[in-house]
Structure 1
Amino acid sequence: MPGENLTRVEAQERAALVDVQSYEIDLDLTTGPEIFRSSTTVRFTAKAGASTFIDALTRTVHSVTLNGTALDAASVSDGVRIQLDDLAEENVLEVVADAEYTNSGEGLHRFVDPVDNEVYLYTQFEVPDSRRVFAVFEQPDLKATFQFTVTAPAAWEVVSNQTTPEPVVNGENGTWTFAPTPILSSYVTALIMGPYAVVRDQLTSSDGRVIPLGLFARKSLSQFLDSDYIFEKTRQGFEYYEAKFDYAYPFEKYDQLFVPEFNAGAMENAGAITFTETYVFRSKVTDAIKERRVVTILHELAHMWFGDLVTMKWWNDLWLNESFAEWASTIATAEATEWTEAWTTFQAMEKSWAYRQDQLPSTHPVVATINDLEDVQVNFDGITYAKGGSVLKQLVAWVGIDAFFAGVAAYFKKHAYGNTELSDLLRELEITSGRQLGEWSKLWLETAGVNTLRPEIVTTPDGTIKSFDVVQTAAVDYPTIRPHRLAIGFYALEDGQLVRKHRVEIDVDGESTAVNELIGLEKPALVLINDDDLAYAKVRLDEESLAVAIEHLKDIENPLARAIVWGSVWDSTRDAETKPADYVRLVLGNIATETESTTIRTTLTQLGTVARAYVDPAERAATIEHVGDSLWALAQGAEAGSDAQFQFVKFFANLASTPAHVEALQGLLNGSSALEGLEIDTDLSWELLEGLVLNGAAGSAEIDAALAKDNTANGAQAAARARATAPTEEAKLAAFALLVDSDEQPNTIVRQTAMGFQHTNDPVSLEAVVEKYFSSLTTIWKNRSYHIAETLIVGLYPAPLASQALVDATRAWLDANPETPALRRLVTENLAGVERALRAQAKDAS
């Protein structure tokens, strides 16, 4: 029988044969640390005499009973699928199997807290992993009700989509029998179990129901759970969405659970959201992370309607879930919470991600072609989330916000508890807006690539504009020229400020658009295309505006305008149009007074990339030293206790490279020197120590001592990252072997070790890994779960080498391995990053 990779054709064929009514799932979690007993009863209709299969990733199938007849489990099951032949019109299938706990964050993840040895479990089912827990028709359009029964230690909290019932206790164990869920796709069902600490509250829905609220975290982290604030954001989100969607919250309770070793930011299980523990702040975090948590809370809440209540038919419309939630959570954050600059954050982070993804060889339309499950796994990307969200923002501006929300409300009412395609949403929006959306969809959702817009300005000798054109280009491989609604801002230098003196809003269409409204005006100090960030496009500054920006970006008052300029120069640097050295000048000269935390975080991350990979290699060490010196000076000059001071110190530790830098880090860490207002807490201590390890000024003994003081899951992850950061060939080879030669490490240790592996100022230590990396790729892909394989393939790629030799080795592997499209996509994206770095290096050296 076929393997784990379900194809769309198989799913379509199965959906034509089968209609599922209900699942009854009984899990016994008292059978030891490796496996659990899973018993599933499925009721479904089918075409009489038809054959199909049900998905079940199992260690052992004990019995399969179809319509009262016992089947030979050994012959009908291969550990991945169970073959079902000669179906009746009405069917009852019973499967009893042993399934495996995972340490990869997929299926039923098992974690033991090193602080108190308590066991915590949670499920993660998107995309195809409910089949790791129970027998299931694993595709989103075969919805059903799910009734869970769980036997587990009686002292545990047991949470699912429905309200937790009182358990029947038998000795040390209890059995919880939940009520059936509403009609759901299997991937949004959930079970979270363990001795979680819980805080409870409630709210009143727009239809008058009382909705119980719960917040859960591990006992050893619960002291850091700021429940009042999280409940406040949740209430604000409920009120906003219920009003805008004109549809009351569709489930009976709303629990939010912070779970260990989570792969993503969060997951939209109906009524039982799981979040990464990164959002439980045991140490100081940046304002960027605080804001991101709010956006994530509202993102998952939006999914209760868009994704859970109404679900896409197949994964090609995954963007309908994620792009909508991305857009909705941003507008809700901006309009319903104190984070009123959420669209600036969106521009700085989400659109930067989208532009980067849209320029990779693997770019794809927002509505992607999804042939199988491996395709969808690699499409949780900047197109699906950030470009889709950006395009929806444009659509909202075009049809009008009131018409958009009215269309969405009609969509929810018409398709509640069902499955849809893109056309179903567009049809409702056409009705409420009166606009035809077929051409818009074709240009923006069904074609790939990002356009570049640049001004072409001709002036008289006295600076008066004779002609002003917006020139639009597209990538050779993705030549679509699109219509854009955008603003152009003119900024003049006045009293030390760059002040917007003129704004015109226009429609750009075609390869060149004349802006006659600007003829006769004096050319200003800075011309900003896409001011106010209305369009999805890369924008360029003219030569004079770039020079002004390098000197005066900090003097623009509006944070969104600053973010657009930051992004414009970053894009032109990545495209090898602006010298990387000029980007370094721009950042170091203007970052000191930036007010937006996400802009600081994103920009300093990009600065590190430029210093380590984009500058001329002959200037790399000097550039890294200069950046380190400057960041330390910025930290010393920043406002005491400010977010900027905190970020400057964090990035200084990451980029430290000289004995003077080491001395500064040691002083902060041992307390012999201090910055006013800066607390050296647990997590910041780890970052300072990692900076010392990066420079060979600390090693295993210091890491062991720090771990002894912080014997927690967070501490273990920080220690793993620090060990892999050691600047020696031996350390990099050891990190590689730890992850590749054994599958014992849990997902978070794999991820953090890979981060340390990539953390280097002198990439020569990675040269010994190149051959091992390529010889291991096929084995990794074959033998590891998807999330672990992706982390290894991306995280262990020796990208910091940024050399022609690495390009040649990567191309040789691609030439020799034409199979496995999803694996090739990851390797091709790795290659594209190195090729881009080489072009930037050549520009810097020119």
Structure 2
Amino acid sequence: MEHPGAIQFTDHEIFLGEHPTPEELQTRVELIAHETAHCWFGDDVTMRWFNDVWTKEVFANFLASKIAKQLFPDVNHDLNFLRMYQTRALSTDRTQGTHPIQQQLDNLNSAGLLYGNIIYQKSPVMMRKLEEQMGASRFRQGLQEYLNTYSYSNATWDELINILDRYAPEAHLKEFSEAWVKQKGMPTVTTQWNDGKLIITQSDPFKRGLTWQQSFLVDAIYINKVENDGAEQTRITTTTIPVDMQGVKKEIALAKRPDYIVPNADGSGYGLFVFDNFDNIPLPTDDLRRFALAMNMYENYLAHGIDAKSLSDTMHSWLKAENNALIASQLVSYWGGAVSAMPDTDRHFQEQQMWQEYRNATIASVKQRLIRQLYNT
């Protein structure tokens, strides 16, 4: 399935040094698992035409992540998924260059143009949503029937959906496939509290009336001032609300108005999740939620929901307190993205702040990311 030359050019990912890092070991496992998965998805069952070339890649990535999760139980795989797939998918899907996962291909000479963030990064996000939509057990049963039915032959994505649909007819997988696979773009999701209800609404930015079926979490944060031995203290309480978004609007009873509503709190949702208020929002203690909050904040910045200076100041202050190298590196990236859009005077001040953080940073990868960011701004 793959070019022999690519294996030689990336031999350093297979033949590791004497003291490999945990990340290098995991990358090797994922690479081997990815190529092994092609024995079933791509070889045993091959797409009928290259408009479905993405199917072999999505299953290879999807199954590789499942295998790595079993072999590296101490790794935060949900955080890695956000970093490796979600952020990269958003980087294309938010732009005018967005396109469907499944693309029309009239001439095989143009097959190379199909590859990119949508095929390699958005499709695993979609596949995780598909498994979630119908349930892991029925999803697995459907895949087994698909492989047995089309073994040593060719199949299309629609033929897979037809099989899966029989296992979970209530999941409306053909409608799911239409929005997630056959159409470009992603939803815009807004939340508001009104008269004892949390109202969540999704819309199609291209005004086609599409609905993206998915589940995600919303955190309702309450901040209270309490007295303790005569001293005033701040107490933060969070109510996590699961949202199963199957239509345009969802209403959930919520008696008290939150100080902050945080949609897509753990990053499990996909789209632009619009925030009403970022000012002085409490920073979560959970790694996954901190990464998701930064990711959602950056997407709101790009959608003109927050200005460059506010984003820069926030990413800088969060970076000072961040001990997780993966999150810290992402904060630097978001910080740099905002700085590059500033007027000269403001940008020069932020670059000085970046240089100071570079000198103070104790995490090697963060120092490297900071100096690279300075070169790029």
Check if 1:299 corresponds to 2:34: yes
State the one-letter code of the partner of 2:141: A
Q: Deviations over 1:117-145 (max 9, x none)?
A: xxxxxxxxxxxxxxxxxxxxxxxxxxxxx
Out of 134, 154, 157, the position equivalent to 1:419 is 154
Deviation of residue 381 (structure 1)? 1.4
Check if 1:392 corresponds to 2:127: yes
State the one-letter code of the partner of 2:306: T
Q: How does 1:339-350 map to 2 (within 5 A)?
A: 339-350=74-85
| Number of equivalent positions | 368
Q: Tell me how far apart the structure 2 counterparts of residues 600 and 284 of structure 1 sit (CA, whole Å).
A: 24
Check if 1:529 corresponds to 2:263: yes
TM-score, normalised on structure 2? 0.85
Q: Tell me how far apart the structure 1 counterparts of residues 376 and 264 of structure 2 sit (CA, whole Å).
A: 37
Partner of 2:245: 507
Check if 1:566 corresponds to 2:294: yes
Out of 95, 99, 112, the position equivalent to 1:377 is 112
Q: Tell me how far apart the structure 1 counterparts of residues 66 and 4 of structure 2 sit (CA, whole Å).
A: 31
Deviation of residue 317 (structure 1)? 0.7
Deviation of residue 504 (structure 1)? 3.5
Deviation of residue 649 (structure 1)? 1.8
**Compared with structure 1, are the counterparts of its residues 542 and 427 closer, same or farther at alpha carbon in structure 2 (3 Å cutoff)?**
same
The 8 Å contact of residues 349 and 602 in structure 1, kept in 2 or not, is answered as no
**Compared with structure 1, are the counterparts of its residues 409 and 491 closer, same or farther at alpha carbon in structure 2 (3 Å cutoff)?**
same
The 8 Å contact of residues 311 and 418 in structure 1, kept in 2 or not, is answered as yes
**Compared with structure 1, are the counterparts of its residues 358 and 418 closer, same or farther at alpha carbon in structure 2 (3 Å cutoff)?**
same
Q: Tell me how far apart the structure 2 counterparts of residues 600 and 280 of structure 1 sit (CA, whole Å).
A: 29
Bigger relative contact order (CA 8 A; separation at least 6): 2
Out of 314, 326, 338, the position equivalent to 1:610 is 338
Q: Tell me how far apart the structure 2 counterparts of residues 309 and 394 of structure 1 sit (CA, whole Å).
A: 25
Check if 1:631 corresponds to 2:367: no
Larger Cα Rg: Structure 1 or Structure 2? 1
Give 1 or 2: higher strand fraction: 1
Partner of 1:622: 349
Out of 476, 479, 485, the position equivalent to 2:215 is 485
Check if 1:539 corresponds to 2:273: yes
The 8 Å contact of residues 93 and 99 in structure 2, kept in 1 or not, is answered as yes
- Secondary structure class of the residue paired with 2:219: strand
Q: Tell me how far apart the structure 2 counterparts of residues 293 and 615 of structure 1 sit (CA, whole Å).
A: 40
Out of 649, 654, 661, the position equivalent to 2:372 is 654
The 8 Å contact of residues 485 and 506 in structure 1, kept in 2 or not, is answered as yes
Check if 1:366 corresponds to 2:84: no
Check if 1:468 corresponds to 2:174: no
- Secondary structure class of the residue paired with 1:531: coil
TM-score, normalised on structure 1? 0.40
Deviation of residue 484 (structure 1)? 3.2
Deviation of residue 592 (structure 1)? 4.2
State the one-letter code of the partner of 2:261: V
Which ranges of structure 1 fall in alignment gaps of 5 or more residues? 1-187, 193-256, 261-274, 459-464, 639-644, 657-758, 762-846
Check if 1:315 corresponds to 2:39: no
Q: Tell me how far apart the structure 2 counterparts of residues 477 and 280 of structure 1 sit (CA, whole Å).
A: 50
- Secondary structure class of the residue paired with 1:578: coil
**Compared with structure 1, are the counterparts of its residues 626 and 337 closer, same or farther at alpha carbon in structure 2 (3 Å cutoff)?**
same
Give 1 or 2: higher helix fraction: 2
Partner of 2:228: none
Q: Tell me how far apart the structure 2 counterparts of residues 302 and 491 of structure 1 sit (CA, whole Å).
A: 42
Q: Tell me how far apart the structure 2 counterparts of residues 429 and 294 of structure 1 sit (CA, whole Å).
A: 29
Q: Deviations over 1:324-365 (max 9, x none)?
A: 222222233223423542122111331111112112223211
**Compared with structure 1, are the counterparts of its residues 333 and 189 closer, same or farther at alpha carbon in structure 2 (3 Å cutoff)?**
closer
- Secondary structure class of the residue paired with 2:262: strand
Q: Deviations over 1:220-251 (max 9, x none)?
A: xxxxxxxxxxxxxxxxxxxxxxxxxxxxxxxx
Q: How does 1:152-231 map to 2 (within 5 A)?
A: 188=1, 191=4
**Compared with structure 1, are the counterparts of its residues 414 and 276 closer, same or farther at alpha carbon in structure 2 (3 Å cutoff)?**
same
Out of 371, 376, 401, the position equivalent to 2:136 is 401
Q: Tell me how far apart the structure 1 counterparts of residues 342 and 22 of structure 2 sit (CA, whole Å).
A: 30
The 8 Å contact of residues 211 and 246 in structure 2, kept in 1 or not, is answered as no
Partner of 1:548: 280
* RMSD, aligned CA: 3.0
- Secondary structure class of the residue paired with 1:488: strand
Deviation of residue 598 (structure 1)? 3.3
Percent of aligned pairs with the same amino acid: 17
Q: Tell me how far apart the structure 1 counterparts of residues 236 and 33 of structure 2 sit (CA, whole Å).
A: 35
Q: Deviations over 1:397-447 (max 9, x none)?
A: 111101111111121122222221012211221233344522222222111
Which ranges of structure 2 fall in alignment gaps of 5 or more residues? 225-232
